[in-house]
Amino acid sequence: KEFASTLKYHISAKHPGVNLEEGPRPSTSCDTSSSSQPHHQTTLEQTLKRKLSKSACDRLSNSLAKWIAMSCRPVSFIEDRGLAEVLQIASSDMTYNPPSQTTIMSKIQQLYDTEKKPKRRRTISNHNYLGVTAHIIDCEWKLQSFALAMLKAETGHYADACARQFLSVAEAWGVQPKITTVGTDSARNMIAAAYEHMPCVAHMSQRTVSFCPRDSDTLAK
C-alpha cells in the first residue's frame, strides 16, 4: 500500500498528463506496436536447407574459373577446404560444394574459346610497327632510356622505309647529330637501314635459346 502511494505520487509529480483512473489503452488498427501476425524467426534447420539455384551455381563456377585463370592460380585451389567454407558462408548455402578440377578446366576452356571468337565490328589483321627508343649515358654515368615514337609502317618493314621513318623521328626530336650507333634485333632489313649497327643483346639471347635446341636436333639426325 505504501509502495502504491509512492508510485502514485511519482506519476502525479513527474507525469502529470497520465490519468491514473483510466485503464490500459486498447490497441487500434493504427497502432504500429502490435501486429496481426506473429513474427517467426528463421530457424537453423531452415537456414541449412537453403540451397543455391542451378543458375546461381553456374555463375559461381564461371566466376571461380575466371578468377583462377586471370590470377594464374593453381587449379588445385578449388579443392581447398577453406575456400569451400568461405563460399558456403557467402552464399548462405551450407551444403554447397565447389566444382571439381575437371569442371574448372572445362569452364576455363569455354572462356578461352569465347574470348578467341572474333567480335562484331572488329577486324583481325596484322600491322607492322616501328618503335624508336633513345638510350643515353648522363653526366653521372647512368643509363637513361626514352621512348621517342611508335610508328605504323604502311609499306612493311623494308629497309628504305625503316630508314626514312627512323630519320623522321630523329629529326623531329633534334637528335640526329648526336646518334652514334643504332641497336636493332639484327634482322637484315634493320641492319641495312641503320647507321653503325649494334646488335641487341636481349634479341641475340632469345634467338640463341630458340634456335640452338632445334639446330641440335637437326645435327643429331
Of 96, 109, 11, the closest CA to residue 51 belongs to: 96
Nearest to 104 by CA among 88, 83, 82, 86: 83
pLDDT value for 142: 92
Q: Where are the extended beta strands (E) located within the chain?
A: 128-137, 143-153, 182-184, 197-199
Dist CA 28 CA 34 (whole Å)? 9
Cβ–Cβ under 8 Å, residues 147 and 133 = yes
Per-position pLDDT tens, the chain of length 221? 555 566 666 667 666 666 655 554 554 444 444 445 555 565 555 555 578 888 888 899 999 998 888 887 888 888 888 888 998 888 888 888 889 989 999 998 888 888 766 554 444 456 777 788 888 899 999 999 888 888 877 666 677 877 888 888 888 888 888 888 888 877 777 777 666 778 888 878 877 887 777 666 665 55
Tell me the pTM: 0.37
Residue with cell 630523329: 170
For residue 129 the three cell numbers come to: 610497327
Contact present, 171 and 186 (Cβ < 8 Å):
no
Per this entry, what is the length of the chain?
Answer: 221
Residue 102 CA to residue 61 CA, distance in Å, equals: 12
Structure confidence at residue 141 (pLDDT)? 94
pLDDT in the model for residue 140? 93
In eight-state DSSP terms, residue 17 is T
Residue matched to cell numbers 566466376: 63
- The C-alpha cell that represents 174 in the structure block: 633534334
Burial readout 25-51 (b: 16 or more C-beta within 10 A, e: otherwise): eeeeeeeeeeeeeeeeeeeeeeeeeee
Nearest to 163 by CA among 140, 139, 197: 197
Grid coordinates belonging to 144: 637513361
Amino acid 121: pLDDT: 47
Find, among 94, 102, 154, the residue nearest to 130 by Cα: 154
Calpha distance 110→117 (Å, rounded): 11
- Cβ-contact 78, 100 below 8 angstroms: yes
